[in-house]
Each structure stands twice: as structure tokens, then as C-alpha cells.
Amino acid sequence: MLRHVSLRGALCTLYALLVLWLVGYCLLRYLDSTKTSLQDHHRNVFENYNSHKTQFHFLQLDDDDDNLHKETKNLSIQEVQLKHPTNQLSGDYLRSLVFHPNPHLPTISMCSDIIEGDKEAIETSQLGLLEMKSTFFQKKLEMFASLEEDVLKAAQNCSLFKRSRKYIEIPLTPEEKAYPIAYVITIHKQVAMFERLLRAIYQPQNLYCIHVDKKSPATFLSAVEKISNCFENVFVASNLTDVHYTHFSRVQADINCLQDLAAKRNIVRWKYVINLCGLDYPLKTNLEMVRSLKNLHGYNNLETFTTPAHKKQRYLFRYVLPTDNDVNYSVMRKTDISKSQSPLDTPMFAGSAYFIFKYKAVECILTDPVIKTFLKWNEDTYSPDEHIWGTLQRWYPNLPGSFPPHIKYDLNELQSITRLVKWGGMDTEVYPKCAGTYVRGVCVYGVGDLSWLLRQHHLFANKFNFDIDPFAVECLDRWLRNRTIVQTLKYISNGFV
């Protein structure tokens, strides 16, 4: 009896094991097929990422024309052929605009890989940068230190200067010719970096006002004037201001140029004005900027958002500029004296120093008596450039192109198109880690930042510095010029891009 029971138990156990084995076998087959399917899916996703660089990393945007992107990277002088040349524009002229490779900087192929985010190319470039900064390679350092001298020497002959530096001297498309842009560029040092920025954004139909800090050495002002005098549409501001950090003088520098640009609008009928500093650099071609500005549909574009509590102190109390020994870097000092209410009948908003204003908005800023009173009221506030423009943009409907003060119209720096900045402390949470180095809490971009930057919608990025990472500036410079030429070829040949 016991033997019979134990035999039955053994058979039941064996049967249960057999069932478990069958279930396990079926499950494994299913998982294997699922794994294959997932691998295929992941492979497709990876291939799609490599070819299109979609939104997988930190607001990375699709490229509107992937073929255009590929042609931009791989452009060679031999490929610049214009099927339907115009009276002025020819394949020969476009070929003359292609930058020659610098033997001391990354090759064209390496720049293409860097733009694609290739880790090996980025690391090779970073090693080259370390080598360049080493005392063992002093000659390379001296070579880059002489760039400013070379630029100024070339500028003694304007025709040779514009030709050798490959400035664009003919409007490249009818669309760009019909849509001039005005620029305010405020600078105080680094002539060579200023000249690179000017070349990167220069178009003969645009207008450029350069404000040089009045404290800058006379030799610096002279150098900027020498470069500016080579162009009919580039000029130094007629009124120069001593610019101090966090002081109203930063706003005054912009206003000085806005006045000059408005006075010259009978010569150049510019549509929008964009203000820059010497360490900004474009992320878009001029044609792309024109289309971005058209897409604003008559509105201004700048950072403007509800003021955080900790920033309200900036205009609730009076601030004074210390009269210490360091006249080049003085920060406004808070007093215990409370300020009166703002003369504008709108709440105060925060923002940044950078703006994109339509002409009618500039005209209003320069002539409206209430705005003049508001500007005067801000002369003793702290860092007024970070709340004046943001507040004026919400003075609706008084300022042309403005937004209503409702919180729904708030724009931060990632949503606006004016300027892309990587702030310290926001790495990995808001955007990829800074591949360059931080200076006063702001990322000075390195080559590893380029791939991400060029997928954003912003027109400009801050900061680039040729003295810190010349490879990043060189590769971005080449990419923009190649893209400009490719877009022009397509536009003239097809009638559109």
C-alpha cells in the first residue's frame, strides 16, 4: 500500500516537472523571438538616430533636410557647381568662399566627425588642444597669439582683406537680399574673435553697429575701426559708454547702437535687430535666420518670465557703483534706500541682456516718453539688462510685438531663439554636460558641444572663445560656411531650399 502511494507520488512529481519543462521551453522560445524583435527594433532606432540625430538627447531636434546636412559636412571645392548662375553669382564665386583648411587645426574630415558627435574625433581634438596649451609647444601658442596682428595687417588693404578672409560681398539669395537684419555687437577685447564673429554673420545687405567699451585701450578701438572702415554697412557707435558689469551702462551701450541703427534705416530698411557680445557665435546661416525671423510673424523674441522672489531685490532698492581701484570690474552695491514704484503700468519681469526686436519696437523704445522714464528709473537698479527688456516685452499692447503679462506668455532661454547658454549646475538635468570649461558659471563651449548645439532652434550660442578652444570655433565656422554654400546652390538651382 505504501509502495503504491509512493509510486503515485513519484509519477505526479515527474508529470509536474515535465509540465514545467514544457512551459519553460515555450517561454524561452517566446523570449528568444521577442529578443530578436527587440534587437531589430533597437537596431532600427540606433540607425535612425545615427542618420537623423532625433530627439533622443536633451531636446535634440530633427534636421529638416538630412541630405543637406550630409552635403554640408562633406562639401569640397570641386563640388561647388552652380547649374543656373546669375549675373553676379557664379560657381567660381561660391568656390572662392570655401574656407581653406588650417594646418594647425582639425582637418575637414575630423570636423565632420566632430559635428556628428564622434567620440574618437572629439577626444583627438581635445588631446590636440592640450598639446597646444603645453609649454613644450610654445611655437603653436605664439602662432595663435599673432592672429590679431595678422588680421590687422591684412585690414590695411580692404580689398585684399575681404578677399583673403572670404567675406560674402554679394547677397546670396533674393530672399536674403529683401530681408536685411541689423546687429548690435558690444565688445571690449579680443579683436581676432570679434573679426571672426563679424565674418560669420556678415552679409552686404545687413547693418552692423559695434559698441566698443570706452574703457578699452585706444589700440583696441583703433583696430576695430580699421576693420569696420573696410565695410560700408559696418560702423562703430557714434556715442561710446564706459560699460560696467551689472550697471545700467550695459543697457546704454545697446541704446547707443539702437539710436544709430534707427538713424540709418533710411539707408538699410532692416526688419529686426539682434544684439550680441564678442563671445557669441551663430548656429544658423543667414538664410535660416531670415526664415526664423519671418516665422515670428511680427512679434519680438527674447527671454521674459515672472520674476523669481530672489531677483526682486534688484529693483526694490537703490544700488550704487563702487568707486574702487578696479575700474574694469566693479559690481553694483546695494543700499538700504527703497525705490519708488516702476513707472510702467505692468508687473516687472525677468529676462536676459539679449533681444530680438522688430523695427517698430525699437522706434517705440527710443521715442516713447514713458519708456524713457522707465529707463531713467532703472539707472540705479542691479543688472538692469536682465529685467528691462523682459519687462518691456510684456508692456502689451504699448510696445509693438510685445506679449500680454499673463504667465502663459513666459519664455525662458530654452524656449526663445535669441541665445543658447549652458549654465553651471544644470548639467545632465537640462542639457548635456559642458564639454569645454566654465567661466563665471557659464560654459565656454568645446568641440564636444557642437553636435548638440547645431540641433537646437536658437540663432546664437554663448560662449565661444578662440583662446580657450580654437578647434570648436574653427569647426563651427567651417560648418556654417559650407552650409551657406550648399543652401545657396540649392536655392539658385531649384528656386528654393
**Residues with catalytic function:** 386
What does the alpha-carbon distance between residue 299 and residue 401 come to, in Å, rounded to a whole number? Answer: 4
Q: How far is CA 433 from CA 44, 113, 427, 438, in A?
A: 27, 19, 5, 11
Residue 497 near residue 176 (C-beta atoms within 8 A) = no
Select from 66, 64, 82 the least CA-distant residue to 74. Answer: 66
In the sheet with 280-282, reading across from the earlier edge strand, the strands are 280-282, 460-462, 420-421
Cα-flanking dihedrals φ and ψ of residue 101, to 5°? -65, 140
The single-letter DSSP state of residue 319 is: E
Residue 181 near residue 293 (C-beta atoms within 8 A) = yes
One-letter amino acid of 341 = Q
Q: Within 10 A of 58 (CB to CB), how many other CB atoms are there?
A: 14
SS3 content of the chain, % helix, strand, coil (to 5): 50, 15, 40
Strands 280-282 and 460-462: antiparallel
Q: Within 10 A of 285 (CB to CB), how many other CB atoms are there?
A: 26
The single-letter DSSP state of residue 335 is: E
